[in-house]
Amino acid sequence: MNRYLKLVNFEFNRIAKVYFVLLAILLISQIAGVIFSSKNYLNETNRMIYEELIPKAEYLSRYGPMSMDQVLSSIWFIGPMALCVALVAFYIFLIWYRDWFGKNTFIYRLLMLPTARLNVFLAKITTILLMTFGFVAFQLILYPIESTILKWMVPKEFRVDLSVHELISSSGFLELNIIFPNSIIEFILNYGAGFVAVTILFTAIMFERSYRIKGILLGIGYSILAVIIFFAPIIIQEFLQRYYLYPSEILIVEVAMGIIVTCCSIWVSNYLLKKKIRI
């Protein structure tokens, strides 16, 4: 356990600089987004009211007040978030391959540590989870700050204040609802599915690192099989066109399938790391 935690700390420190730079980009870009969106709105409002001489009430009924969901749809907001998602997706592969293909083959050291090799696997997956939840938590902290900036910039009669919850649930972007689930059930489903996907990908990487070219095929085969098993309850229902289970029961079965696939992936990865992996 102790060595596992040390490995997690070590793995996180390896990406920490890039990670904190991305958080800074997220912060700067989104706050800039709030400022620019508010300024644009105010400029347009002033032009309409003072140059086009549209009454304030008519302007508001025609164009609506300013709110955070308008900021949410801007590139200033979505762009850095997409960058963070892309980094995590890319890092799922890089976290393993850089240890083999880096200037110094650090994988020698990792595989010769006096601890179960599975701890290396678990430390890397924990790092991915920490990064993901770190981004989400940071974004949730940023929302109220951004809302406050909006309040400073836009007069009360021209804005609608939305709480974090209202903001997330009012968002028209499906992607945002995936990242920020509305309920605990959605959280378990979204992030549970993400975790299962990462364990499947890690296992596929272990296959490739163990058997090289043959391993790519084995990895793809394993991934397809794991996805089929994971979605089996839904696939069977749709295929047979008979809906034996209530949606809540389907949810429980899906969670169970997710646990089964995750356990299988960890077991297979442990076997490959112990018996088949090669430098």
Partner 1 sequence: MIEVKDITKKFGRRKVLNGVSFTANKGEITCLIGINGVGKTTILNAIMNLTPINSGHILINGEKIKKESYEKITFIPDAITMLPQMRIAEAMGFMNDFYDCWNQERATELLGFFKLKESERISDLSKGNTAKVNLLLGLAMDVDYILMDEPFSGIDIFSREQIANVFTSHLIEDRGVIITTHEISDIEHLIDKVVLLDNGNVLKEFNAEEVRENENKSVVDVMREVFKA
Nearer to partner 1, 99 or 254 (CB): 99
Among 53, 57, 174, 279, binds partner 1 (CB under 8 A): 279
Footprint (CB under 8 A) of partner 1, residues 95-114: 102-106, 108-109, 111-114
Judged by CB under 8 A, which stretch of 42-50, 88-96, 259-267, 269-277 contacts partner 1? 269-277
| Residue at token pair 């540590």 | 113
Footprint (CB under 8 A) of partner 1, residues 116-145: 116-117
Binding mask 62-101 for partner 1 (x = CB under 8 A): ----------------------------------------
Rounded CA Rg of the chain: 24
Phi, psi dihedrals of residue 276, rounded to the nearest 5°: -120, -15
Please give the C-alpha separations between residue 72 and each of 173, 175, 177, 278, in angstroms, as whole numbers: 9, 12, 12, 46
Among 115, 177, 223, 270, binds partner 1 (CB under 8 A): 115
Per-residue DSSP letter, 172? -
Nearer to partner 1, 159 or 209 (CB): 209
Residue 276 makes contact with partner 1 by CB under 8 A: yes
Residue 6 makes contact with partner 1 by CB under 8 A: yes
Residue 61 makes contact with partner 1 by CB under 8 A: no
Question: Which SS3 state, helix, strand or coil, does residue 277 take?
Answer: coil
Cα–Cα distance, 136 to 132 (Å, whole number): 6
Total chain residues near partner 1 (CB under 8 A):
23
Taking phi first (over 0 means left), then psi (-120 to 50 degrees means alpha), and beta for anything else, what does residue 225 get? alpha
**What is the smallest separation between the CB atom of 113 and partner 1, expressed in angstroms?**
5
Question: Which SS3 state, helix, strand or coil, does residue 159 take?
Answer: strand
**What is the smallest separation between the CB atom of 110 and partner 1, expressed in angstroms?**
9
What angle is formed at CA 40 by the lines to CA 74 and CA 37, rounded to 5 degrees? 30
Residue 14 makes contact with partner 1 by CB under 8 A: yes
| Residue at token pair 């990242």 | 179
85 Cβ contact list (under 8 Å, min separation 6): 179
The answer to whether 139 and 23 have CB atoms below 8 angstroms apart is no
Nearer to partner 1, 242 or 275 (CB): 275
Greatest alpha-carbon pair distance for the chain in Å reads: 78
Residue 10 makes contact with partner 1 by CB under 8 A: yes
Footprint (CB under 8 A) of partner 1, residues 196-255: none
| Interacting residue ranges for partner 1, rule: CB under 8 A | 3, 6, 10, 14, 102-106, 108-109, 111-117, 275-279
